[in-house]
Amino acid sequence: MNGFSVTSPVISQWPVAVSLPALRSAILPNAPSGRATPPLQFEFVAPPRVKIVEPPSGPESSPTPVRLVGDHFRMGVTKVAIIDADGTRQQLADDSVSVVSSFVIDAVLPPGHGMITIVVADPISGETALPAAFSHTSDAPAPGGGPAP
């Protein structure tokens, strides 16, 4: 179109960023009466990913507020789920997740046990998981523990 074309061979599994020139309008051969079309727009949406979970552990018996640090989070769009030690997937409620910026999500993880995987998802670009991202710790006191007399 207007002497410009893009071909993209598959080189690897990783996304490739492409810069396209702005198009003001174009006449398409198949358009009725050769009318000009509105400008074309393109937005690349990378999959979200979590790199750090802070704190990395919390109690088994109560919810734990955490901060997820990563990239490509989108406000109002990015969802968070967990996969527990038994392999059960649970999406966190919207009121338990707050996308602070494209790099930070504040969330509240439910009580549970063992190691969990944290999954971040975008309806356009897909999802990624951080295995063994968070560990629930026992609430029980250590054997023989307790305050000194």
CATH code at 83? 2.60.40.10
Separation CA 127–CA 78 (nearest Å) = 9
**Contact status, residue 98 vs residue 82, Cβ threshold 8 Å:** no
Q: Is the peptide bond before 143 cis (omega within 30 degrees of 0)?
A: no
The yes-or-no verdict on residue 59 having pLDDT over 70 is yes
Token pair in block for residue 32: 């009725």
* 121 in a structural domain: yes
How would residue 139 be classed by pLDDT, with cut points 50, 70 and 90?
Answer: confident
Q: Say which residue, 138 or 104, is predicted with more confidence.
A: 104
Query: Would strands 57-59 and 49-54 be described as parallel, antiparallel, or unpaired?
Result: unpaired
Strand ranges, E, within the chain? 26-27, 36-37, 49-54, 57-59, 64-71, 79-83, 89-91, 97-99, 104-109, 114-122, 126-137
- State residue 138's pLDDT score: 86
Residues 60-109 have pLDDT tens digits of 999 999 999 999 999 999 999 999 989 999 999 999 999 999 999 999 99
The yes-or-no verdict on residue 135 having pLDDT over 50 is yes
Residues 20-47 have pLDDT tens digits of 555 444 444 555 555 555 666 667 789 9
* Containing structural domain, residue 106: 49-137
* 87 in a structural domain: yes
Separation CA 58–CA 140 (nearest Å) = 13
**Contact status, residue 105 vs residue 68, Cβ threshold 8 Å:** yes
* 34 in a structural domain: no
| Count of the separate structural domains present in the chain | 1
At 34, give phi and psi (nearest 5°): 65, 25
- State residue 27's pLDDT score: 46
The yes-or-no verdict on residue 17 having pLDDT over 50 is yes
